[in-house]
Amino acid sequence: MMSSPLYMTEETIYDLEALASTIERSKTFIVRKAIESYLKYYADYWTQHLQDRFWSYSRS
């Protein structure tokens, strides 16, 4: 009798779960880095904006 084509060994299931976990960690890392980059840009933008406003008021 032939085994079902959908049958997976425990080792295959373990490998697939490990791969899925690795992919999830990679996605989390990429999203975290994108958020950090955006927040740094936002902070730099507002720091520069506030400094420009401060200097424009202090010259008046």
Query: Per-residue pLDDT tens for 1-60?
Result: 445 566 788 998 899 999 999 999 888 999 999 999 999 999 999 999 999 888 887 776
**Token pair recorded at residue 4:** 């079902």
**For 59, phi and psi rounded to 5 degrees?**
-80, -20
Which pLDDT does position 60 carry in this prediction? 63
* pTM for this prediction: 0.56
Segments forming the whole domain that contains residue 22: 10-58
Which pLDDT does position 18 carry in this prediction? 92
33 occurs within a structural domain? yes
2 occurs within a structural domain? no
Provide the domain count of the chain: 1
40 occurs within a structural domain? yes
Which pLDDT does position 4 carry in this prediction? 57
